[in-house]
Chain A
Amino acid sequence: MSLLDSIRGLLGGGAAKYGEPIVIVSGLPRSGTSMMMKMLDAAGIPIMTDAVRTADVDNPKGYFEFERVKDLEKDPDRSWVREARGKALKVISWLLKDLPDDNAYRIVFMRRDIDEVLASQNKMLEHRGEDDTTDDAIMAEAYRNHLASVRIMARKKPNWSIVEIRYDEAIRDPAAVARRVNEFLGGRYDVQRMVEAVDEKLYRNRKTA
């Protein structure tokens, strides 16, 4: 480490230790993570994606994924995550636990009604030709417990900060949500373009009152 780095470390604290934060878009699959990635992309935030998974009927505007994320749980080499510093990376909530601790994470966590999430996931499984034998009630309980675990984990991580965004609110009032996300990320981004990236027509599998 150079003298300059040492001085930066003394003066900068966490920033010097962790480098530029990584913006993580997270949540259960089908909770609006791709929509949020599109909003961030539109706002001018660099996106870490390899575009291997392309747009389809379930995500007509694309997935914004990076393939190596899928291996986070199994692959002990997670050093590549550092390449996402200063960028946005989509990491589903299940894999948050596997993020290495040598980065700072600003996590935009998407929340959506669990029944809607499951309805959307089940449709996606059907489109992919996958069998699904687990009862929805069991999955709903498992997801609720998982989300509680994520909250508990978040409290213990000094290098994490989280904002929770409700998917239905993002659809209903995209301007308010865009402002909140922009503020969370430092207030440097184009809120209007974030708003324009929200497509209400893609809110399918909606629970009716």
Chain B
Amino acid sequence: MFGLGKTQSIKLERDLYDRVKKIADVAGYATAEEFVAHVLEKELIHFEDAKNDDDIRNKLRGLGYIS
């Protein structure tokens, strides 16, 4: 994050980019890229959170849907 690593480009639809830019400006981010990176980092934590998976597995096992 914050430009310390190598970068890759991702394309966004124009409308979405305009919304991102607007909010990034209002929220005080230096660039739209910095804002997008911050939001993605926060979201990725959820997807990468193995504990979430364990919570789901425990629940499903208790309900009798997985072995």
Contacts and interface: CB of A to CB of B under 8 A. Distances in A.
Task: Sort A-B residue pairs by CB-CB distance and give the 3 closest, nearest first.
Answer: A130-B62, A142-B52, A145-B46
B55 A92 contact: no
Tell me whether chain B's interface is mostly helix, strand or loop, or mixed.
Answer: helix
Contacts of B52: 141-142, 145-146
Interface in B48-67: 49, 52-53, 55-60, 62-67
Given A29-B60, A149-B47, A70 B66 contact: yes
Interface residues of A, number: 27
Interface in A4-55: 29-30, 53
B59 A132 contact: yes
A74 B63 contact: no
A73 B64 contact: no
Nearest to A91: B65
B57 to A, nearest CB: 8
B55 A134 contact: yes
Contacts of A146: 52, 56
Interface of A: 29-30, 53, 70-71, 73-74, 92, 94-95, 121, 124-125, 128, 130-132, 134, 138-139, 141-143, 145-146, 148-149
Contact of B55 (A53, A125, A142): A142
B63 A94 contact: no
B59 A73 contact: no
Contacts of B56: 94, 139, 142-143, 146
Which of B55, B58, B62, B63 is packed against the most chain A CB atoms within 10 Å?
A: B63
A73 B55 CA distance: 16
A94 B60 contact: yes
B67 A139 contact: no
Contacts of A29: 60, 63, 65
